[in-house]
Structure 1
């Protein structure tokens, strides 16, 4: 009995270590932000793809294997990453579907068009209550990213797999058609996250806010003014 229990604990411990490694890989700065650069030893194409063998050859990732990368891509609950064979040479490549901190010109984003059947009435940006005073006054900012991220709904709702962190305690709802009418462009990524660069200053102004919702400890609507 003790031997069986010890074996089970050993397997659970090894499984836990594997899960920890997978989380570390999926949340690494390079993969999560897709910010690989020549200065860091990475050569990224204009479409955001990086050769997996180049990634694994980097000292930051040389403890991982191709199997680790494939598992993280396949099991990531937010479908953040995409693997493909390079169409010219067949070499395996990886790309983050969103979260870029440098410009990626060929990311295969789908434009959201006003009046189209798939144009959402509203979209949600997840953030934190500590940021609300600034957001309430100045609007949402893309900060050092190329886009502001918006989800089609709140986490857990039907079809919502990505677009905000699970620990966000504030949701700001955006009037997408109104922003489109003002010339602000929106795009949909491969994992259904809505992306916008905002206005010329990289912002979505408060006039586009439909409502603000505190998510925890209990849900409550916050005044917009």
Structure 2
């Protein structure tokens, strides 16, 4: 794994307008959806199938979503700049899922497996300086998630939708082709996040 250090990244120099009430509500719903669909839904009574889909009717039984209409869910998914979610209609019923970011090990997303031939030219992981010493010592780690997350470029680069926070202080560039040659798997999610499960312990070690 090769590393390049980029300090102080992604801070915007222009003033952003204050968020509207609608923006705040949308953000709150999006964060709640992320939690339930990626991490805590099963403990709260939300049923996810093996591919991570939950029915909208089941979702509405949870207090956070009881007043939402299917049109609001569709609009939120369509307008999400990071394309975190997907919806589908099946058997006359609406379903929703998170495209990546799960800590639920039993969810098996329909991911595109990558090879040395179809890898993006850049595979980069965004993190923070407080993690640098640990990363140098042991490599990247899935932590509580099923995959290590990468982006095919820095935020605002062409084709980069998600995979890295804008506040990241450290960019770690990975030689994914060499990692694949060493037996590591890489995948692409529906919103163009590059994912790697690491080794049996969830690590992509430095070398």
Shift of residue 168, structure 1, vs aligned partner:
1.2
- 2:102 — aligned with what? 100
Give yes or no for contact 2:86–2:98 (8 Å, CA) kept in 1: yes
Q: Report the 3-state secondary structure (helix = DSSP H, G, I; strand = E; otherwise coil) of the residue aligned with 1:70.
A: helix
What are the within-5 Å matches in structure 2 for residues 108-119 of structure 1? Answer: 108-114=110-116, 116=117, 118-119=118-119
- Whole-angstrom CA distance in 1 between matches of 2:95 and 2:139: 36
- 2:6 — aligned with what? none
- 1:44 — aligned with what? 48
Query: What CA RMSD, in Å, does the superposition of the two structures yield over aligned residues?
Result: 1.9
Residue segments in structure 2 that go unaligned for 5+ positions in a row: 1-17
- 1:159 — aligned with what? 159
- 2:179 — aligned with what? 179
Residue segments in structure 1 that go unaligned for 5+ positions in a row: 1-12, 208-225
Q: TM-score normalized by structure 1?
A: 0.78
- 1:58 — aligned with what? 62
- Whole-angstrom CA distance in 1 between matches of 2:88 and 2:37: 19
Q: Report the 3-state secondary structure (helix = DSSP H, G, I; strand = E; otherwise coil) of the residue aligned with 2:125.
A: strand
- 2:74 — aligned with what? 70
- 1:142 — aligned with what? 142
Q: Report the 3-state secondary structure (helix = DSSP H, G, I; strand = E; otherwise coil) of the residue aligned with 1:83.
A: strand
Shift of residue 105, structure 1, vs aligned partner:
4.7
Give yes or no for contact 1:33–1:98 (8 Å, CA) kept in 2: no
Runs of 4+ in 1 over 4 A off after TM superposition: 29-33
- Whole-angstrom CA distance in 2 between matches of 1:176 and 1:151: 12
- 2:13 — aligned with what? none
CA distance 1:136–1:35, change in 2 (3 Å): same
- 2:3 — aligned with what? none
Give yes or no for contact 2:70–2:94 (8 Å, CA) kept in 1: no
Shift of residue 100, structure 1, vs aligned partner:
0.4
Q: TM-score normalized by structure 2?
A: 0.85
- Whole-angstrom CA distance in 1 between matches of 2:76 and 2:129: 31
CA distance 1:138–1:33, change in 2 (3 Å): farther
